[in-house]
Amino acid sequence: MLEIGVNHYLILSGLLFSIGFMGVLRRKNLLMLFFATEVMLNAVNIAFAAIGNYYGDLSGQMFAFFVIAVAASEVAVGLGLLILLYKKYGSLDLDVISSMKG
Amino acid sequence: MDMNMESLVYIALFAPFVGSMFAGLLFGNAPRTHLTGIVASILIFVAFLASATLAYHVATVGPVHVKMMDWITIGDLSIPFGFLVDQISVTMMVVVTLVSTIVHIYATGYMDHDKSYNRFFSYLSAFVFAMMILVMSDNFAGLFIGWEGVGVCSWLLVGFWYHKKDRPFEENPSISPSWAANEAFIMNRVADLGMLVGIFLIYWNIGSLQYDVVFEAMPNLADGILVSIAIALFIGAMGKSAQFPLHTWLTDAMEGPTPVSALIHAATMVTAGVFLVIRSNPLYSLDAVSGVSMFIAILGTFVAFYAASMALIARDIKRIVALSTLSQLGYMFAAAGLGAYWIALFHLAAHAFFKALLFLGAGNVMHAMDDELDIFKMGGLKTAMKASYWYMGIASFALAGLPFMAGFYSKDAIIETAFNEGTFIIWGMLVITAGMTAFYSFRQVFFSFHGEKRYEPLGFHPHDMYKYVLIAMAPLAILAVSFGWLMGYYKEFIYGLNESVQYEMSDHTHHLAIYLAALVVVIAIGAIFLAWKKYGGEGDKAWKRDEAFEQSFIYKLLENQYYVPKFYDEFIVKPYTITSAKFWEIDKAMVDGSVDKIGRACLKIGDTTRGMQNGNLSSYLNWMGLGALILVLVAAFSTITTESIVECLRAVAGKGE
């Protein structure tokens, strides 16, 4: 019988993080970028909770809570900004809303 | 009483400084105003009064030695700002401030129309201040500060008319004021290196630079060290007093305004070298350095003759006077080298008076002739400029050493010294030079003031200087006549200083003195008569230009100053310029090149990478992701490396056990 250990959680966390990271890099829609960052944050949360459990230390889970709280407020502010951007440009495509040129 | 004397020392020293700052700081940018000239003149006169009072104090009570403050105190080295007013320095102080006062007053008239009038007085007073530091310092470091200070002021003043254009060497041997100023400054740097070496040698071997400590310790030093110190210090003196082979700058320094030539390049600064030798008389009178002293005497004699020979044919009125200065400096060195320090100092003072008068007279002539310097274009000026004629006449009589004038006493004493020492070659050369001196100084007087009025066809309208300037010159004329009468008093005065400054003629010389003097006077009068015959006549007897003689080898040799400037130009200046140009190219390729490369590389990197800043958030995120990835990789890689190193070490340690 396969026992689920800390390594499995960490591999899951790593996979999720990579998926989120690829999303940040590849997606063009700002809303999708938000989703991707959420995925990355939650990947980290998994790692925190797993390692905290592994060491029998609650700090890891506490950090995870903090991250959830921060992510929630970020989404609240971010979505507000997104709505404003959408009203201004009529789109959330990054190629469309880029304005600064080097 | 002492406290009083101390403040007098500071007044004498700092009054010129205040004058300089007044003219320079307050009126530096202001349009010219006579206020600067008047205030500077008054302050110099105050310094003169303080110096004269100090001279009286030194004569009646004794030397004044004050310490103003500590200057450099590092480890064992302690150099205070100390000032010593003794017989030697007070003589210099009185001479410097007296001549400076008159030159300052003269300059208020002479520089009247110059737009840089204020700047001129700022420099001129700064020069007096530096000169006072030079003569009053009680240690070699202070002397060196003053030494460099007068050098800087000389540079500023020779190059005062820096805007004048360069002219080719054939047309004007001193090319331009700024060229002449640089020449003087650079040539003095060469000599100053020698002087610095001398000062370092003194410090290494004695551990102090204070005159009293140094001169007390000197007899205990090894002969070789003493000779090195004496030579090194004399090299410094050779530069400042323009002795061969560092003499060419002095005649070229005549590019400066005439009051500057009178004050700096005749009466005061150029005598600093003589002053240094006189100041170091306890060193130069030691038996161990008698060879160096003899060399000084021989070199002085040579320069006296050498400069006089060039003056015989010179056409530039200021150059004639400058060459005679050179020649008289040679006399002073001859006396100092033979051990007659007080006679050298006495001649220095006498020379300062009549030479300053001569220069100021030459300035009057230039002023009258619209800055024309060629005596061939003058003649018969005595009707137009009676006062200047008299002054020039008196000064030339004093320079020629005619009876009862200043030069008669001081210069004859030097010639007598040469006889007394049994150095008959030096004596003979000095006697011949005395004849040449009389000839060339009166050649110049007759050329400019007697004979046909050659200036008339050339359209000059000469007029004499302002009255007050002519009156201000009177003290110099009086001293040029009467200073020699004080010789007995002066001897008594300076004998109070120390043993080595004293010098007495032997009885044998004493008996012959009158004949020796008569011989010199007869030669001088003969030379003056010859000059009169040749240049003083009018009408039929008037001087006529001798073209054949001007083509002769000897004339060419003298006219080109024995080709020494040409030699310097060919063998020092030109190779140096070529080498500098080469080094400049190397510098451009290596130093400039590498800096330029770095700059260009930065530009190029910036140019290529600015494409990243395209304003697209997505691509920014990609770059950020790449950066994060690189950082993670670097962190991972470095962790592995550290761990593996630790492991390796452990393995090695385990084997050791």
- pTM to 2 decimals? 0.79
Interchain contact, A24 vs B621, CB within 8 Å: yes
pLDDT tens track for B538-577: 777 777 777 778 888 888 888 888 888 888 888 988 999 9
Which carries the bigger pLDDT value, residue B452 or residue B56? B56
Interchain contact, A102 vs B610, CB within 8 Å: yes
pLDDT at position A57 is: 87
Q: Is the pLDDT of residue B656 over 70?
A: no
Tell me the average pLDDT across B53-76.
86
User: In percent, how much of chain B has pLDDT > 70?
Assistant: 99
Residue A1 CA to residue B389 CA, distance in Å, equals 132
Would you give the distance in Å from CA B413 to the centre of its chain?
25
Question: pLDDT grade, residue A100 (50/70/90)?
Answer: low
Residue of B608, B618, B626, B632 for testing the chain A interface, max A β-carbons within 10 Å: B618
Picking from B242-246, B365-369, B378-382, which range would have the lowest pLDDT averaged per residue?
B378-382
- How many other CB atoms sit within 10 Å of the CB of residue B26? 14
Is B466 exposed, middle or buried (CB count within 10 Å of its CB: 0-12, 13-18, 19+)?
Answer: middle
Residue B403 CA to residue B511 CA, distance in Å, equals 18
Helix ranges (DSSP H) in B421-506: 424-449, 467-472, 474-482, 487-495
B253 Cβ partners below 8 Å, 6+ apart?
B154, B158, B174, B180, B181, B184, B261, B264, B265, B322
Tell me the average pLDDT across B335-364.
91
**Angle (CA) B124 B127 B132, round 5°:** 135
Residue B241 CA to residue B47 CA, distance in Å, equals 25
Backbone angles phi, psi at B74, to 5 degrees: -130, 120
Question: pLDDT grade, residue A40 (50/70/90)?
Answer: very high
Residue B432 CA to residue B410 CA, distance in Å, equals 16
- How many other CB atoms sit within 10 Å of the CB of residue B601? 10
Interchain contact, A25 vs B621, CB within 8 Å: yes
The domain segmentation of chain A, as residue ranges, is 7-94
CA distance B180 to chain A (A): 58
A1, two tokens? 């019988």
B604 Cβ partners below 8 Å, 6+ apart?
none
Residue B328 CA to residue B266 CA, distance in Å, equals 10
Question: pLDDT grade, residue B381 (50/70/90)?
Answer: confident
Please say whether the beta carbons of B68 and B142 come within 8 A.
Answer: no
Three-state SS for B80? strand
Q: Is the pLDDT of residue B144 over 80?
A: yes
A97: which chain B residues are within 8 Å (Cβ-Cβ)?
617
Residue B571 CA to residue B245 CA, distance in Å, equals 14
Q: Is the pLDDT of residue B230 over 70?
A: yes
pLDDT tens track for B580-618: 999 999 999 999 999 999 999 999 999 988 888 777 778
pLDDT tens track for B97-134: 999 999 999 999 888 888 888 999 999 999 999 999 99
Q: How many beta-carbon contacts under 8 Å exist across A and B?
A: 33
Q: What is the DSSP letter of B85?
A: E
pLDDT at position A1 is: 63
B618: which chain A residues are within 8 Å (Cβ-Cβ)?
25, 27-28, 94-95
Q: What is each CA distance from B175 to B171, B178, B252, B391, in whole angstroms?
A: 8, 9, 8, 30
Residue B322 CA to residue B444 CA, distance in Å, equals 12
pLDDT at position B618 is: 81
pLDDT at position B648 is: 72
Q: Is the pLDDT of residue B492 over 90?
A: no
Q: Is the pLDDT of residue B488 over 80?
A: yes
B622: which chain A residues are within 8 Å (Cβ-Cβ)?
25
Residue B414 CA to residue B421 CA, distance in Å, equals 11
pLDDT at position B455 is: 81
Which carries the bigger pLDDT value, residue B528 or residue B655? B528
Q: What is the DSSP letter of B571?
A: I
Tell me the average pLDDT across A66-83.
92
CA distance A80 to chain B (A): 18
Residue B509 CA to residue B291 CA, distance in Å, equals 24
Q: Strands, E, within B339-446: which ranges?
A: none
Nearest residue of chain B to residue A20 (CA atoms)? B625
Residue B105 CA to residue B86 CA, distance in Å, equals 28
Residue B259 CA to residue A94 CA, distance in Å, equals 83
Nearest residue of chain A to residue B613 (CA atoms)? A102
Q: Which CATH number fits domain A7-94: 1.10.287.3510, 1.10.8.10, 3.40.50.300, 3.40.30.10?
A: 1.10.287.3510
Is B453 exposed, middle or buried (CB count within 10 Å of its CB: 0-12, 13-18, 19+)?
Answer: middle
Three-state SS for A29? strand
**Angle (CA) B190 B248 B331, round 5°:** 95
Tell me the average pLDDT across B621-638.
87
Q: Which of B94, B93, B111 is nearest to B37 (CA)?
A: B111
Q: Strands, E, within B48-102: which ranges?
A: 64-74, 77-85
A95 Cβ partners below 8 Å, 6+ apart?
A28, B616, B618
> Could you check whether the bond before residue B457 is cis, i.e. omega within 30 degrees of 0?
no
Helices and strands (H, E) in chain B, number of each type: 28, 2
pLDDT tens track for B260-290: 999 888 888 999 999 999 999 999 988 888 8
pLDDT at position B615 is: 76
Q: What is the DSSP letter of A93?
A: B
Is B114 exposed, middle or buried (CB count within 10 Å of its CB: 0-12, 13-18, 19+)?
Answer: middle
B615: which chain A residues are within 8 Å (Cβ-Cβ)?
98-102
Q: Is the pLDDT of residue B197 over 60?
A: yes
Average pLDDT taken over every residue of chain B: 88
Point out which residues pair with B374 in neighbouring strands: B316
ipTM (interface predicted TM)? 0.79
CA distance A54 to chain B (A): 23
B531 Cβ partners below 8 Å, 6+ apart?
B438, B439, B440, B442, B443, B446
Residue A25 CA to residue B621 CA, distance in Å, equals 6
B338, two tokens? 């033979």
Q: Is the pLDDT of residue B655 over 70?
A: no
Can you list the pairs that B26-34 forms with residues at least 24 positions away whose Cβ atoms lie under 8 Å?
Answer: B27/B118, B27/B122, B28/B118, B28/B119, B28/B122, B30/B118, B31/B115, B32/B114, B32/B115, B32/B116, B32/B117, B32/B118, B33/B117, B33/B118, B34/B108
Interchain contact, B615 vs A101, CB within 8 Å: yes
Interchain contact, A98 vs B616, CB within 8 Å: yes
Is B163 exposed, middle or buried (CB count within 10 Å of its CB: 0-12, 13-18, 19+)?
Answer: exposed
Please say whether the beta carbons of B136 and B275 come within 8 A.
Answer: no
Would you give the distance in Å from CA B488 to the centre of its chain?
30
pLDDT tens track for B22-61: 998 888 888 888 888 999 999 999 999 999 999 999 988 8
B556, two tokens? 């060419």
Backbone angles phi, psi at B122, to 5 degrees: -60, -45
pLDDT at position B569 is: 86
pLDDT at position B545 is: 77
Tell me which residue has tokens 């090299």. Answer: B235
Question: pLDDT grade, residue A101 (50/70/90)?
Answer: low
Interchain contact, A25 vs B617, CB within 8 Å: no
